[in-house]
């Protein structure tokens, strides 16, 4: 049974409020990382078989796997270890605390995987630009690194303070790393910070914080499991299509709930 996460300190809450991200935080022990890494490797090895049950496999990756980062949503639907991770209170509780919520709901999961010497980047983006079909904004992301990540293998980078820049356009996943820079608001100060982390550590970021990651220039893999959560009061802002592929259609204005969006904290 994993130990409960200690509550975040006032300093950590203040850092998140000022910068729009927090971490690295120690989360998984080495044996646990190994287990999750194994699960990710198993899903990637059989991605075609799993595809119908995943919410999404990045089309650019499907078309050009040697150029575009491996990225998919919905691993929790196909692997029990990834499903277990969704409910891990060491991930859930800090997210709830940062959002100021006592009831938290799972939104979706993601995997990003860069093999050694892979040219794919994750272009700078804000997560909420992908999520405007849900509102109000009360969403958060935890990025759990499954390999040691450094600038050499493309660790995550954040732009401190960018969570206060409003919502910027959503750019294609296979865009150049810095494509967003021509869309920044006047006066925005572009000072990205690379955050190297060890395997098993996590960073947590605000839904509007600009983040991205460069290519893998190393001999090592760089994989991350990402969990996206939201407050239990988040509703459907656009009911014209299912929120995720294969999920029952919910009408505009309905609470986002149901078997695909379980409560992970509270009742
Ligand atoms: O792991 C990466 O490089 C990108 C992750 C990301 O976009 C996220 O955690 O929201």
- The tens digit of pLDDT for each residue in 171-223 reads 998 899 999 999 999 999 999 999 999 999 999 999 999 999 999 999 999 99
pLDDT band of residue 3 (cuts 50, 70, 90) is: low
Q: Which residues line ligand 1 (CB under 6 A)?
A: 112, 122, 127, 141, 143, 156, 211, 213, 224, 226
Indicate the average pLDDT of the chain: 96
Neighbours of 143 (CB within 10 A): 26
| pTM given for the model | 0.97
DSSP lists the bridge partners of residue 265 as 104
Pairing mode of beta strands 122-125, 211-213: antiparallel
Topology (CATH) of 19-238: Jelly Rolls (2.60.120)
Query: Ligand 1 pocket test: which of 131, 211, 215, 230 has the largest number of ligand atoms within 8 Å of its C-beta?
Result: 211
- Tell how far the Cα of 47 is from the centroid of ligand 1, in angstroms: 19
Residue 90's Cβ-count burial label (10 Å; 0-12, 13-18, 19+) is buried
Q: Using CA atoms in the order 140, 37, 153, 167, what is the torsion angle rounded to 10 degrees?
A: -20
- Tell how far the Cα of 54 is from the centroid of ligand 1, in angstroms: 18
DSSP lists the bridge partners of residue 122 as 213
pLDDT band of residue 6 (cuts 50, 70, 90) is: confident
- Tell how far the Cα of 177 is from the centroid of ligand 1, in angstroms: 12
Q: Quote the CA–CA distance of 132 and 243 in Å, as a whole number.
A: 10
- Tell how far the Cα of 149 is from the centroid of ligand 1, in angstroms: 12
Taking CA atoms only, the protein residue closest to ligand 1 atom 7 is 212
Q: Quick check: helix, strand or coil at residue 149?
A: strand
Atom of ligand 1 nearest to the CA of 226: 9
Atom of ligand 1 nearest to the CA of 127: 10
Q: Quick check: helix, strand or coil at residue 69?
A: coil
């Amino acid at each position: 049974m994993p130990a409960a996460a200690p509550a975040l300190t006032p300093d950590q809450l203040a850092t998140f409020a000022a910068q729009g991200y927090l971490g690295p935080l120690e989360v998984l022990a080495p044996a646990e990382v190994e287990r999750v890494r194994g699960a990710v490797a198993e899903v990637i090895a059989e991605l075609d078989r799993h595809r119908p049950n995943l919410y999404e496999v990045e089309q650019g990756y499907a078309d050009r796997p040697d150029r575009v980062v491996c990225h998919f949503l919905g691993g929790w639907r196909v692997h029990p270890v990834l499903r277990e991770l969704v409910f891990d209170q060491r991930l859930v509780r800090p997210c709830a605390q940062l959002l100021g919520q006592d009831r938290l709901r799972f939104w979706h999961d993601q995997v990003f995987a860069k093999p050694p010497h892979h040219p794919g980047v994750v272009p700078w983006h804000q997560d909420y630009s992908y999520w405007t079909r849900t509102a109000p904004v009360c969403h958060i992301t935890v990025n759990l690194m499954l390999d040691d990540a450094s600038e050499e293998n493309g660790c995550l980078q954040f732009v401190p303070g960018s969570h206060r820049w409003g919502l910027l356009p959503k750019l294609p996943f296979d865009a150049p790393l810095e494509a967003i820079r021509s869309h920044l608001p006047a006066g925005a100060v572009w000072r990205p910070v690379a955050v190297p982390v060890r395997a098993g550590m996590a960073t947590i970021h605000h839904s509007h914080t600009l983040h991205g990651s460069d290519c893998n220039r190393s001999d090592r893999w760089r994989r991350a499991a990402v969990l996206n959560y939201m407050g239990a009061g988040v509703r459907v802002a656009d009911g014209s299509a299912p929120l995720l592929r294969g999920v029952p259609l919910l009408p505009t204005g309905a609470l986002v709930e149901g078997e695909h969006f379980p409560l992970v904290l509270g009742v």
